[in-house]
Amino acid sequence: MQSTKTRSTAKAREVTVEELVTHFRERRESLRTQWVQAMMTKDLLSGLTEEEVHTESTAISDTCVGCLETGKYDDAESYAKRMTERGALRGMMPEQILAGMLTLRDVYGRSLFERYRRDPARLLSALDAYEPVASRIVSIIAVAFVAERERVVRQQQDAMREMSTPVLQIREGLLLLPIIGLVDSLRARQLTEQLLRSIRAARAKVAVVDITGVPVVDSKVANHLLQTISAAQLMGAKVIVTGLSAEIATTLVAVGVDLSKIHTLCDLQGGIDEADRLLGYRVLHVREETGRTQ
């Protein structure tokens, strides 16, 4: 008898999802307004028009309650996707978005405290149902926003890299690509693409790739070089690699990199001289002062 009573009391204490949803829906506009107010107080809405604030806050808060009701997060995911596609909230910083979403979670959470403050057991039950949903939605929206920003930033960086074309045309038919800094797979690919496009644009027959400024030349970098050389050759251009020290070459051979395909000279000047020879120029080093030819 005792256990049955406990069980039914426990059941009566439980706050159902329907109860929560009804609670939030009844207070829909007031909670949304509270949330917006809270964000304004924290100065999180700079850069947004009133209309934007109204539209997005309505969409987000409705989506949240919807997810709470269905137990599924599809709506939040598609809102996040649409948000990034539309470019909505693009002017905001990630900190603002995250703080804004956390404020939403707090404002709605507080309303539960208000309602159930005289009944700790029911308050706990309500929070148990509410908190995981709120946290998950904060995460979905904040992460989507940040991912989109990262994508845009990467695009901009790529555009800048393209514009700052490191491929130089020294003479007709001769390109120079000085590489400075670490080379990872992504950078290697970008450099290769730029070189190949430059070969086409400049109708180059020889390209000197100088890696003196590359601090780490491991087998990965060497393989990228080999691929670049292959690709350039398919376009009718020879590649001369300069700045590959004897030590590095020995190490690479030791780990099995086939350097036979790399036409390499130690220093840049030597590389350019060789390129000139390949292009059919005779190389004369004339000393300025004495006028002697060496």
Partner 1 sequence: MRVPILKQGDCLIASVQAAPTDTALVQLQQDLVEQAGRFHSRGAIIDVTALDVMDSFACRALRAVTQVLRLRGTETAVVGIQPEVAFSMAQLGLTLEGAATALDLGEGLAHFQKSKGGANRGG
Partner 2 sequence: MADETRVPINSDADIVDARQLGRALAAQLGLSTTDQVLIATAISELARNIIQYAKQGEILLSALNQGGRRGVIVIARDEGPGIPDVERALQDGYSTGESLGLGLPGARRLMDEFEIVSEVGKGTTVTARKWAK
Letter string b/e over residues 232-258, b meaning 16 or more CB atoms within 10 A of that residue's CB: beeeebbbbbbbbeeebbeebeeeebe
| Strand segments (E) across the chain | 168-171, 174-180, 206-213, 238-242, 263-265
Dihedral over alpha carbons 146, 151, 157, 159 (to 10 degrees):
-150
Of 87 and 236, which has the nearer Cβ to partner 2?
Answer: 87
Interacting span for partner 2 (CB under 8 A) from 5-13, 40-48, 77-85, 246-254: 77-85
Residue 227 touching partner 1 (CB under 8 A)? yes
Candidate list 13, 136, 171, 189; residue touching partner 2; CB under 8 A: 189
Candidate list 110, 151, 200, 203; residue touching partner 2; CB under 8 A: 151
Hey, CA dihedral for 24, 28, 31, 32, is it positive or negative? Answer: positive
Interacting span for partner 2 (CB under 8 A) from 118-126, 151-159, 171-179, 276-284: 151-159
Q: Which backbone phi and psi does 287 adopt, to 5 degrees?
A: -80, 125
Count of residues that bind partner 1 according to CB under 8 A? 18
Least spacing, CB of residue 148 vs partner 2, in Å: 4
Nearest to 275 by CA among 236, 239, 232: 239
Tell me the sheet residues that pair with 169.
175
Candidate list 146, 203, 267, 277; residue touching partner 1; CB under 8 A: 203
Residue 74 touching partner 2 (CB under 8 A)? no
Interface residues with partner 2 (CB under 8 A) are 80-81, 84, 143-144, 147-148, 150-151, 154, 158, 186, 189, 193
Positions that interact with partner 1 (CB under 8 A): 189, 192-193, 196-197, 199-200, 203, 227-228, 230-237
